[in-house]
Amino acid sequence: MTAEQNLEIDSLIERIALCQSRGDAFFPNGTFPSYRHNKYLFYRRPDTNIFYTATIVFILNQIIEKVSKKSQTIIKHITEKAIKNYPDFQNKDGLKTYNFWKTKPSKHFPNGKIFKHFDHFRIPDDIDDTALIYLTLPHSREDVLWLKEKVKLHILPAPKEDVYPIPPLGIRGLVYSTWFGKNMPIEHDVCALCNLTYLFEKQQLPHNEHDEAVFVFLREVILQEKYINNAFKVAHNYATTPLIIYHYARLLGDFAIPQIEVCRENLIIKIKQLLDNELNTMNRVILETSLMKLDKSISSAINIQNLTPITRNSFTYFIAGLLSSYKNSILYFFAPFKITQMKWECEAHELALLVERSVATIRL
């Protein structure tokens, strides 16, 4: 890596640090500001969640060994301030699971005027936030084993009339669900499952029948191209092909998992096809990052200086389908429509993705 590239990466990490809240009416000290919005409803609110903060900390600590000593120090300071907020998002009864929003008391749809008053929109803890927090605030092996038993308790057989006919019948009732709550439908988001599997693989936990079912599901989504043809159904909270590819690449890039290794070549081919036509800057960033994670022999000559401007609302990493948690098939039919979805934006997270993309070319 050239000195110029080093300076650019240092500058990006400094910008991320400047984004981190010092504490204000909307964002507690150490969190990263993000905003939920729906342009069709002329809606935009500051959103106090832990998801983006934990995701940013995860990305930065994944690349910490490849950046300058100066940037390493900044990342350590960012992490120290961020993780102090995790207890506010922990399970309301003290269990070691975590929520997207604050839990004691519940602060769902924070800073809003309508949704926060309805219990329907109060979400339970989930595997996605929980996995990211476990990965960025190391828990003991015993804690992770407890979590693995906990997620098994929230697996239920799919009803005959299932509005979520994912995954296939042979493994339905075995794959871990997104939610820990009792009253939520069983949902299977492949991106969240990739994050949970990443945690289990990092701890080198033995595979059980549920893990094997997850691998079958992850494999089927790629080989049958469901991640292209029906991204929303297989990943409610990410819902785009590039983001699904990115989560698979993070997992396959760091772990050798024979059960899903067959996906690698398919993903590499698809990334190259998508890059021929992809115009969105951030989608290009995550696709190129994914390509280099999946094929360690690939490097890119892309100029990161041309990727730094962030265009508001041009990229969405996370969404919430306001109708996707209903069991009613008619309401669920409208869940993929953008007018029924909340989108989130976070400048610091986009900067972190730029850093990750820049560092991906470095081989230690």
- pLDDT (tens digit, 9 = 90+) per residue, 222-263? 999 999 999 998 999 999 999 999 999 999 999 999 999 999
| Confidence (pLDDT) at 274 | 96
Instruction: Spell out, as residue ranges, where the chain has pLDDT lower than 70.
Output: 1, 108-109, 112-121, 157-170, 299-313, 321-337, 340, 363-364
Q: Which helix (H) or strand (E) holds 38?
A: strand 34-38
Residue in 180, 183, 178, 111 with CA at minimum distance from that of residue 146: 180
| Confidence (pLDDT) at 301 | 45
Classify residue 30 by its DSSP letter: T
CATH architecture of 3-359: Alpha/alpha barrel (1.50)
Angle (CA) 16-21-22 rounded to 5° is 125
Classify residue 236 by its DSSP letter: T
Instruction: Go through 104-143 and write b for each residue having 16 or more CB atoms within 10 A of its CB, e for each that does not.
Output: eebbbbbeeeebbeeeebbbbbbbbbbbbbbbbbebeeee
Asked whether 147 and 211 are in contact (CB, 8 A), the reply is no
Q: Which helix (H) or strand (E) holds 35?
A: strand 34-38
Whole-model pTM: value is 0.91
